[in-house]
Amino acid sequence: MIADDRGSATVLACCALAALVAITAMLMQVGTVVSVRHRAQSAADLAALAAAIGLDHGTDAACAAAHEVAERMRTAVMSCEVEGWDVEVAVTVPVPLSSLGVRDARAVARAGPAE
């Protein structure tokens, strides 16, 4: 006696479709994280450059310029450290992950005169 195999292709197709949806959702999450990380790095780079340009007005003015640039790029400055003529700025950007909540993407940039 041979078992009836009718409908088995439908079950297999449903499983394949579910796997495809899961992989697509995962790739969208990875794309979101990569995009936000690049935005964080761009904001850190620009904030560090703005701070380095503003160093001739003092340390406070330089870090204020870094904060202004970071705010315009919808990021938050975590630290702004001045050492001589070099400035190091660290920024964070919140990354909304559907099942994992909200995490932070962090980036650090350093700017100063070329040696």
Q: From first to last of the 115 residues of the chain, give the pLDDT tens digit.
A: 566 777 788 888 999 999 999 999 889 888 888 999 999 999 999 999 999 998 989 899 999 999 999 999 999 999 999 998 899 999 999 988 777 788 889 999 999 887 6
Closest CA to 86 of 30, 33, 48, 57: 48
Pick the closest to residue 38 from 106, 89, 88 (CA basis).
Answer: 106
CA–CA dist 72, 107 (Å, integer): 16
pLDDT of residue 7: 74
Q: What is the pLDDT of residue 102?
A: 82
Among 41, 44, 63, 45, residue whose Cα is nearest residue 54: 63
According to the model, what pLDDT value does residue 2 have? 60
Q: What pLDDT, on the 0 to 100 scale, is given for residue 3?
A: 66
